């Protein structure tokens, strides 16, 4: 059987689900897919005077390890470099902390495909992500 969802679409859905998850936890999303020449950060959020840089990793299987295990030292360096670019232009309240989190998402492709069929309404599906995935928020990951 052919997969109804490509890996790229699964990743996009994971990022949308992570955004919904953070909003439910009281975070304010500042940017999604913030991109500069040095790289990209999936989500930049703010909560209680802390700017949080979030890397989202979504997988449909643990065959090659948990999603967060794919974040290597080089990736961490790139994320930190991109964060510095963002902070140069950030007009926050002044005294803020920064933090680097990971949102690890393990999704059940078959359950997702049963729930969605050919309907790829990312925002609707992100709101019901608890029905087809496990989301783990790793605070202060690196």
**Which residue from 31, 38, 41, 135 is spatially nearest to 92, judged by alpha carbons?**
31
- Give CA–CA dist 42/79, Å, rounded: 9
Residue 108 — very low, low, confident or very high, per pLDDT cuts 50/70/90? confident
- Give CA–CA dist 141/102, Å, rounded: 6
Residue 131 — very low, low, confident or very high, per pLDDT cuts 50/70/90? confident
pTM: predicted TM-score of the whole model, two decimal places: 0.90
The string of pLDDT tens digits covering residues 62-104 is 888 899 999 999 999 999 999 999 999 887 656 789 999 999 9
**Domain parsing of the chain, residue ranges:** 7-138
Whether residue 79 contacts residue 55, with contact meaning beta carbons closer than 8 Å, is answered with yes
Give pLDDT, residue 121.
84
- Give CA–CA dist 5/113, Å, rounded: 7
Please check whether the domain covering 7-138 is classified as CATH 3.20.20.100: no
* 112 half-sphere exposure, CB direction, 13 A CA radius: 30
The string of pLDDT tens digits covering residues 111-124 is 888 888 777 788 88
The string of pLDDT tens digits covering residues 15-46 is 999 999 999 999 999 999 999 999 999 999 99
């Amino acid at each position: 059987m052919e997969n109804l969802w490509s890996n790229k679409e699964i990743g996009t859905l994971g990022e949308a689900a992570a955004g919904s998850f953070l909003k439910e936890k009281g975070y304010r999303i500042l940017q999604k897919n913030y991109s500069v020449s040095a790289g990209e950060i999936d989500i930049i959020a703010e909560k209680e005077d802390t700017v949080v840089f979030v890397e989202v990793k979504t997988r449909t299987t643990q065959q090659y390890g948990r999603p967060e295990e794919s974040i290597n030292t080089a990736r961490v360096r790139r994320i930190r470099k991109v964060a510095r670019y963002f902070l140069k232009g950030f007009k926050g309240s002044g005294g803020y902390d920064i933090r680097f989190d990971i949102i690890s998402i393990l999704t059940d492709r078959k359950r997702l495909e049963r729930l969605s069929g050919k309907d790829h309404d990312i925002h609707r599906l992100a709101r019901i992500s608890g029905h087809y995935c496990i989301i783990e928020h790793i605070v202060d990951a690196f």
